[in-house]
Structure 1
Amino acid sequence: MARVSSVFRLKGRVGNIVFCERGGKLYMRALPSVVRNPKTAKQEAVRSKFRVAVEFYQRVKESPIGRIWNESAKGIAVNGYALHMKLNVKAFKEDGKIRDFSQIHFTAGKRQCVYDLVGKMDEEGQVVLCWDGDSDEEEPEMDDRLGVIVIYGNREFMPMVVEGVEARRCDGGASFRVDREAGVKVHLYCFFVSDKGMEYSNSQYICL
């Protein structure tokens, strides 16, 4: 951008030259003669996945998951939307579906994940989770509360927080109920949150 010295206070565009004023000084700059926006198959696929990720966020931003994303984003991203896009775009397919459920993340943070997390579900939809609850972690983190988000395989864009989960890290396990439909996979995203709800662990994935 070049500075202009003139008695005429030009502003705006003349041909491919733009005149503007900053701090009381007049400047000019040339516009590019060609704006490149190649639409290769790869670039179109990336844009499509981005749009799918945005749609996923729009579906849940007013739900409790939107609040969880916003709280989890503190110190990591500008807001919950930015955190979601940073973590999850690659998990979607350009055709509007989820490519890899294990690559979806609902929380991120410095609280510790748990070790040896496993789960099982009976025919009635009763889920039992187990993890290593030994007190190797710092004592305050042992009181972290368990949170669980579920995605059903036939409702990919309808994640929801599982109600009625009452467990802490120190318990080493939890039991709760989800909907059970024959042949439909249940994708669980487990995370721990500090007692005041200010800090989160990364979410951990289980498929049942």
Structure 2
Amino acid sequence: MAKLPNLQISGRMGNVIFYVRNGKQCMRAMPQQVKNPKSKKQSKRRSQFGETAKFASSLLKVLIHPYWNPIAKKENRSGYNLFLTTNMPAFAADVLQKEQLLLIPENGLKQEQFIISQTERGIQLTWHFSKATKKADAEDELTLLIISPNGTLEIRKTQAKRSKQELKIENPKGQEYFAFWERGPLWSASCWLPIQSDNKESFLGHVVEL
């Protein structure tokens, strides 16, 4: 039922809602109802959102607050919200699409293309460093994000620099590895390292080129 206090209308009339904000008359259309909120597509979308939100909640202090909030602030958003919208596609299938998972957003530094080789003791990463861009410096340090089979995440400072062009990872133990570069307040986007590959040598497929 609509009301008329001082000739200002508040309430619903048909599919239009009237309301007063800061003394001014406003109106908006009623939101459209979802025809079938229990459809297979809607259920899958809710499940996808739930899985992404659950994953993000476990990373608030270690990743989202320090790495996502500064980026999201430029867009007047929260780091948590930006992480969700960026990473929901990785949770679209029944199996997590690790190559689509972006744990760290780009903040001024260039990612590299890694060559992954298997050794007797584990994995060796190599890359080619060029001084052709300001987004890459010889002293940039490589940081690993390691997700264990039970879902816990470890941030490991490797002290490996771009100029070194190699890093050895011993005994991976079925863990998932992501890598990114850091230099003071700057960092590159992270990328997944498919170190479980059966090939003797493989190129990283998901690489951020800037």
After TM superposition, is the score higher than 0.5?
Answer: yes
| Paired position in structure 2 for 1:143 | 139
Alpha-carbon spacing, 1:203–1:20, altered in 2? closer, same or farther (3 Å): same
Q: Distance in 1 between matches of 2:154 and 2:85?
A: 20
Matched, 1:112 2:110: yes
| Paired position in structure 1 for 2:180 | 191
Number of aligned residues:
191
Verify the 8 A CA contact 2:131 2:137 in the aligned structure 1: no
Q: Could you say what the CA RMSD is over the residues aligned between the two structures, in angstroms?
A: 3.5
Task: Tell me the amino acid that sits aligned with residue 58 of structure 2.
Answer: R
- Once the two structures are overlaid, the 10-residue window that deviates more, 81-90 or 34-43, is 34-43
Verify the 8 A CA contact 2:64 2:83 in the aligned structure 1: no
Q: CA deviation at 1:56?
A: 0.1
Unaligned runs of 5+ in 2: 196-210
Q: Distance in 2 between matches of 1:47 and 1:28?
A: 30
Equivalent residue runs for 1:1-208 within 5 Å: 7=6, 11-12=10-11, 18-26=17-25, 31=30, 35-39=33-37, 40-64=39-63, 66-71=65-70, 73=72, 75=74, 78-93=77-92, 98=96, 100-109=97-106, 110-115=108-113, 117-120=114-117, 127-138=123-134, 141-152=137-148, 154-155=149-150, 157-162=151-156, 164-177=157-170, 180-181=172-173, 184=174, 186-194=175-183, 196=184, 198-208=185-195
* Percentage of matched positions with identical amino acids: 22
Q: Deviations over 1:11-61 (max 9, x none)?
A: 4558877542234244566757x7335232112211210110000011121
Q: Deviations over 1:58-106 (max 9, x none)?
A: 11212356523334555467333133213211111566x52x1111111
Q: TM-score, normalised by structure 2?
A: 0.71
Q: TM-score, normalised by structure 1?
A: 0.71
Alpha-carbon spacing, 1:94–1:44, altered in 2? closer, same or farther (3 Å): farther
SS in 2 for 1:143: coil
Alpha-carbon spacing, 1:13–1:131, altered in 2? closer, same or farther (3 Å): same
Q: CA deviation at 1:167?
A: 1.5
After the TM superposition, which parts of structure 1 deviate over 6 Å for at least 4 consecutive aligned residues? 14-17
